Amino acid sequence: MKIHTDAYRDIIEAYTIELWTLQECADVLHVSRTAVKRFLNKNGIDTSNKRIQVSCTTCGNTLERTRKRIKTQRNHFCSTDCYSSFLSVGKSMYVQNGHSQRMARRIVAKLFQLEPEHIVHHEDRNNYNNHPSNLKVFANQGDHLRYHHLKRDEYANKLTNKKSNYRKAWEEYHEFEIKPLWSGKEFVDHTKDLERSAKKYPL
């Protein structure tokens, strides 16, 4: 039994983004595991490598983890020092919703060339607000989480009453910025500027 064309995109996303196993894909489609493997290979997806490159949540260094481990474990660390640092800072309060993440990726994919390792971020932390102006794209999960930590630390710094010298030292330490690969807000603002220019200076 062949894989129906309507399921092509869904099964590719299920394997590469949701990290389903070949057997899980086969069970949903009611086809053989071999049929799924052939289909994915035909579309340029490597099914032989059981390990995937991810970023350390704390420092961003590249490391390899099994597909199963990535699917069941949200955070990955390259050393015990990175793990300890993460615990001292505190875990991110941001929790992704699988369905809304897929919807967000489909919206962004129309405007930006997404890669499997890219992460789509909701700026207002509302997973169901998929308006382009609310979406950003980060290179990997490490950059995404560091962006969340930085934003949370900025907010915490505003709430704490610190002496001026401590505040200055904190701001100098955090003067770096985690920049997204793509910003929906900048895209929307640029589009609006072009529309205003077109109305003001018609051809």
What does the domain layout of the chain look like in residue ranges?
5-48, 92-203
Instruction: Give per-residue burial for 142-152: e unless 16+ CB within 10 Å, then b.
Output: bbbbbbbbeee
Q: Would you state the structure tokens that stand for residue 9, as one six-digit string?
A: 């995109």
Position 150 pLDDT exceeds 80 = no
CA distances to 55, 156, 158, 175, 191 from 108, rounded to whole Å, are 22, 31, 32, 29, 15
- pLDDT tens sequence across 170-202: 555 455 567 899 999 888 888 887 777 767 666
Cα-based angle 53, 59, 61 (whole degrees, multiple of 5): 30
User: Residue 92: what pLDDT?
Assistant: 44
Position 164 pLDDT exceeds 50 = yes
Q: Which helix (H) or strand (E) holds 166?
A: helix 164-173
The percentage of the chain sitting over the pLDDT mark of 90, rounded to a whole number, equals: 9
Confidence at 113, pLDDT banded by 50, 70, 90:
very high
How many beta carbons lie within 10 A of that of residue 126, not counting itself?
Answer: 12
> Which residues lie closer than 8 Å to 53 by C-beta, 6 or more apart?
62, 63, 64, 117
Confidence at 80, pLDDT banded by 50, 70, 90:
confident
Mean pLDDT of 122-133: 83
User: Residue 202: what pLDDT?
Assistant: 67
User: Residue 95: what pLDDT?
Assistant: 47
Mean pLDDT of 126-146: 84
> Which residues lie closer than 8 Å to 26 by C-beta, 6 or more apart?
32, 33, 35, 36
- Within the chain, how many helices (H) and strands (E) appear? 9, 5
User: Residue 182: what pLDDT?
Assistant: 93
Beta bridge pairs of residue 183 = 136
User: Residue 30: what pLDDT?
Assistant: 81
Mean pLDDT of 112-140: 87
Position 88 pLDDT exceeds 70 = no
Mean of pLDDT over the chain:
77
- pLDDT tens sequence across 23-33: 888 887 788 88
Cα-based angle 77, 101, 132 (whole degrees, multiple of 5): 115
Is the distance from CB of 151 to CB of 199 less than 8 angstroms? no
- pLDDT tens sequence across 1-22: 577 777 777 788 788 877 888 8
Is the distance from CB of 44 to CB of 116 less than 8 angstroms? no
How many beta carbons lie within 10 A of that of residue 155, not counting itself?
Answer: 9
User: Residue 109: what pLDDT?
Assistant: 92
Tell me the pTM.
Answer: 0.47
Mean pLDDT of 133-143: 88
